[in-house]
Structure 1
């Protein structure tokens, strides 16, 4: 648990957030309640969570939620302790409800309450889920709501996995039936993921997120990503500004990590070509060995090498600097039938034995690449813990 979260929780539970909103005049605590506490402005009440039989009002920014203390106490020890604090007799109340001021984003609180009241169902992979997941994870961590925290972390680990098999499944999910690769429809932009992982200390998301990011060109990595400020469930309420999208960037340290890691990833395909394709010998049991010493299979390997050198796979499919994908493409070239000899479409005439031998080489190379990914970005393993000298070139 992060120290700054514990400090905030202690502050909440100490009684320092006494719901005397008339005294909350600071710029960080705008109050929708008049000094005589006679009314809460209608536009400040969050309609989705303003229950007639609610018995406690949570105030986040200038947005008020009238909910049930029993729900909060059942799921969170922090809320249980907070709501157990005796209140002074002259306490400001509204509709006979205590008013608790929370130092959270209203949208984050909306998503948390939505998960507590309606459950949290994340059935399909969708990039728009990231706003929901991060909000619930942030507050479930802060308020010790373990079952929601665990669900959010597990979901993020599906999107940003620690095993090669799960990564391959993820990439299939990001490819539509027409073969178009569109990961941003399924998964959040990696810059958002990296920044959130740093915020929450969930370091095992970092290796895959950095790998995903390094597949962009350097200029796009530096430019960052536009994040909409108008999305979310709370719209048009007091205190919520629907502004234009704003750019989100990596920290300078993470930017350097990403660019250095990208350089290391770029060397992988070149090394594979040198080790596995340049002057590759046919398999020991090559079916074409007795005919010109396996010339047909040698020429097939040369053709595969040329295609990798031209980076046809990565650039044509929007996967710049993606060695895992490039190696897969190299293997799949052996089965393609859409090559042209100038007169007709054809396939490579590589024999079955050489296909099997090269497929095994590709499989082993992809497994080695996967295990190297954390080190490209200065991490010891897929737990994401940094090793000393992580910014070394």
Structure 2
């Protein structure tokens, strides 16, 4: 008598199990009677667990599951309980966590709102949601983590208030709890953020860690029940470097911002003169706050405490000065919070699964370590590919159990390069119509030349060429765009010329070998007066363009003078009217046209071009004029001639400014 499909499938499963393995066990709550697919996952004890779930639900959450389960339909797979069975290599406990969150989508499953320990389900879901591309589930876990490590200052203040209230309640409890053992722990959060790439929780975790003393360890008994601690043993050397840099940076930035005084503000001077106010009291209070922030480990809380004081007890001041102080403190807090990712830097360039560590020094000799992926560097750079493929010596230095490579480049330059490689979807490296190229552009161009990263260099050069075009058509479009900006804001005084600086562009092109932007930059420079300096803005309408003339070398200035003279000479030569051509003679005789009028107009244009600093704009203005002459044939001739001269001049710019060598 033939056995049933279930018995046959069970015997088949038994054949695949090694000797001594446990018989497959159905999961207690995730073996659903109406499920249409069974997934089998191994357990740590050597057995297997069966999950009977719905293929449609898994496919809806994961494109990986959708493709995997769809492709297995045509395969002659195993059967169990009369339906298909699919083997997974993931641990059964991890699969259980994933399915629980799918079928019971409640944050309560992930963790308590405030908990010191991260439950295993969080790790399991983060790991498998990355593997199976389950973005919604991952976001649900990240949102729970962000309630413990907020991403905004307002959320941070609310969380701090809640914890303070919990501490207050303990004063009236006969058996107070150790709050530290019931509150989130920063070192574990940092490790989780690195391991599963959750950068949003890192700034708050690092800031909280910076408030703690390393002398108060989690494993050391404490007398004070409210003393917050961290499991410092979980932190790597890179974490501690980020922590030290962040603590120093917080102190310096806060001190710098609090030192700024508004005593020079005209409104405050008027207030002190007219009102019964002693401005020195406001200065005394700011000095006191500055002194405290330099000595505290919790700048944000110190500043917030002064915001809630009403009035300032030790030095009473008027309501106006009090508002000024509090507005300044709010601004400082917001700025400090926004700068946390930068202050605790390199958290995003030390990947837990990186297989190569790069170290470089900054200008002060301080070492920075980047843990990255060899395959990615090799993909972008043939130089890196050859360098990293060399066999390692037996005594080669390692860092965090991966090979360590010491680079001679500056750490800031390496950081700019790695950020451009790892985060290509960030805002443009060089935003359109930027006054001066940031230092990161110099770093990228120099290192892309050195390490032959052609793709990255091409992208940067394209962004530069958007401000310094390589064709006349693009130049005209850019000029129109800038004219629109000036017209829309021409009545307001601009503190300085915000548009691209030609001297900075020339310096960049010379240092980083970007010759394509030089013709446009030199032509624009030739239009400017050396009397117009960026530190002496003009109130004229339209805006007076300026250049940072101090950046130019003697070679640059010689090229500028040669170009200016050459433009005038070539323009004068090309605009000289030739009256001897047969076509013009026939037109003047047959159509009874006054040819002298054409000559007069061309001579006027030629004279104007000799006195104008912007030949291309002058020619374009005449070429687009509605009516130059009564005779439409002569008008078309002049218009076409001016267009030809403009194109010829643009083509000759490298020669005129001697840029070809």
Measured against the shorter chain, the TM-score band is 0.5 to 0.7
Quote the Cα distance in structure 2 between the aligned partners of 1:202 and 1:356.
38
Correspondence for 2:164: 175
* Deviation sequence 1:213-232 (CA, Å, 0-9, x none): 22222345xx6789xxxxxx
Correspondence for 2:307: 331
The offset of 1:362, in angstroms, is: 0.8
Query: Secondary structure, in 3 states, of the residue corresponding to 2:328?
Result: helix
Query: Secondary structure, in 3 states, of the residue corresponding to 1:175?
Result: helix
Correspondence for 1:314: none
* Deviation sequence 1:161-195 (CA, Å, 0-9, x none): 44333333333343326658968746x42222222
Instruction: Pick the aligned partner of 2:137 from 140, 143, 148.
Output: 148
Quote the Cα distance in structure 2 between the aligned partners of 1:63 and 1:143.
21
Correspondence for 1:207: 203
8 Å CA contact 1:60, 1:109 repeated in 2 = no
8 Å CA contact 2:38, 2:80 repeated in 1 = no
Quote the Cα distance in structure 1 between the aligned partners of 2:314 and 2:123.
47
Query: Secondary structure, in 3 states, of the residue corresponding to 1:371?
Result: helix
Correspondence for 1:360: 327
Correspondence for 2:454: none
Query: Secondary structure, in 3 states, of the residue corresponding to 1:67?
Result: strand
Greater mean alpha carbon deviation, residues 264-273 or residues 347-356: 264-273
The offset of 1:96, in angstroms, is: 4.5
Q: What is the alpha-carbon root mean square deviation over aligned residues?
A: 4.4
Instruction: Pick the aligned partner of 1:46 from 27, 30, 38.
Output: 27
Instruction: Pick the aligned partner of 2:341 from 370, 374, 382.
Output: 374
Greater mean alpha carbon deviation, residues 266-275 or residues 57-66: 266-275
Quote the Cα distance in structure 1 between the aligned partners of 2:21 and 2:69.
20
Correspondence for 1:264: 249
Correspondence for 1:315: none
Which structure 2 residue ranges, 5 or more long, are not aligned? 1-11, 171-178, 221-230, 263-267, 351-359, 363-367, 370-410, 413-661
Number of matched pairs: 313
Quote the Cα distance in structure 1 between the aligned partners of 2:154 and 2:163.
15
- When the two structures are superposed, what TM-score results if normalisation uses the length of structure 2? 0.40
Higher radius of gyration, 1 or 2: 2
1:56 aligns with 2:56: no
8 Å CA contact 2:107, 2:140 repeated in 1 = no
- When the two structures are superposed, what TM-score results if normalisation uses the length of structure 1? 0.62
Correspondence for 1:233: none
8 Å CA contact 1:191, 1:224 repeated in 2 = no
8 Å CA contact 2:114, 2:182 repeated in 1 = yes
Quote the Cα distance in structure 1 between the aligned partners of 2:84 and 2:218.
43
Quote the Cα distance in structure 2 between the aligned partners of 1:139 and 1:225.
31
Which structure 1 residue ranges, 5 or more long, are not aligned? 1-18, 34-39, 227-245, 278-282, 312-320, 337-345
Correspondence for 2:316: 349
Query: Secondary structure, in 3 states, of the residue corresponding to 1:119?
Result: coil
* Deviation sequence 1:45-65 (CA, Å, 0-9, x none): 432323455551431424514
* Deviation sequence 1:198-244 (CA, Å, 0-9, x none): 22233333223222222222345xx6789xxxxxxxxxxxxxxxxxx
Q: CA 1:154–1:309 in structure 2 vs 1: closer, same or farther (change >3 Å)? A: closer
Query: Secondary structure, in 3 states, of the residue corresponding to 1:356?
Result: helix
Quote the Cα distance in structure 1 between the aligned partners of 2:243 and 2:294.
23
Query: Secondary structure, in 3 states, of the residue corresponding to 2:157?
Result: helix
8 Å CA contact 1:225, 1:248 repeated in 2 = no
Query: Secondary structure, in 3 states, of the residue corresponding to 2:49?
Result: strand
Quote the Cα distance in structure 1 between the aligned partners of 2:195 and 2:293.
38
In terms of fraction of residues, the more helix-rich structure is: 2
Correspondence for 1:195: 191
* Deviation sequence 1:26-74 (CA, Å, 0-9, x none): 9xxx9433xxxxxx3xxx5432323455551431424514322434344
Q: CA 1:171–1:87 in structure 2 vs 1: closer, same or farther (change >3 Å)? A: same
8 Å CA contact 1:174, 1:183 repeated in 2 = no
Instruction: Pick the aligned partner of 1:117 from 87, 97, 103.
Output: 103
Q: How does 1:183-332 map to 2 (within 5 A)?
A: 185=182, 188-219=184-215, 249-271=234-256, 284=269, 285=271, 293=278, 311=296, 321-332=297-308
Instruction: Pick the aligned partner of 2:115 from 113, 127, 130.
Output: 127
Q: CA 1:106–1:259 in structure 2 vs 1: closer, same or farther (change >3 Å)? A: farther
Correspondence for 1:11: none
Quote the Cα distance in structure 2 between the aligned partners of 1:162 and 1:214.
17
